[in-house]
Amino acid sequence: MPSNLKAGSKIDYAESMAAAMEQAFMNEWSNFMIGADAPAMNDQMRLMFVAIAQGVVNHLKANHDAFKVSATQTSPGIYTGTVSAIE
C-alpha cells in the first residue's frame, strides 16, 4: 500500500483512492437491495470514482494546514499520533 495519498487516474488506478471507492461500492451494493447483481464496472463509473478521489485528494493537499496533528515518541521507534483539530 502506498504511503501517500494517491487519487488514481485512468492509467494509474491500482491501489488508489478511486480503486478503494470502487471496491467499497461493489462491497456495499447488496446491502442497499438495489438489485441482485452489482453492475459491471465501466469507464463512466470509473470516471466518477477518479473524479471524486482527485477532488478529495486535491482539496486535502490544498488545505493541509486545517489538520492539527502531533506525534509523541513513547519509546524508541514508537510514536503515538493525535489529531487535536480539523478546522
Mean pLDDT of successive 10-residue stretches along the chain, which has 87 residues: 79 96 91 80 94 94 85 87 76
Record the cell numbers describing residue 56, joined without a space: 478529495
Q: What is the pLDDT of residue 87?
A: 66
What pTM did the predictor assign?
0.72
Q: What is the pLDDT of residue 6?
A: 93
Q: What is the pLDDT of residue 76?
A: 87
Report whether 56 contacts 74 (CB < 8 A).
no
Q: Spell out where the chain has E strands.
A: 67-75, 78-86
Q: What is the pLDDT of residue 11?
A: 96
Q: What is the pLDDT of residue 21?
A: 96
Q: What is the pLDDT of residue 70?
A: 85
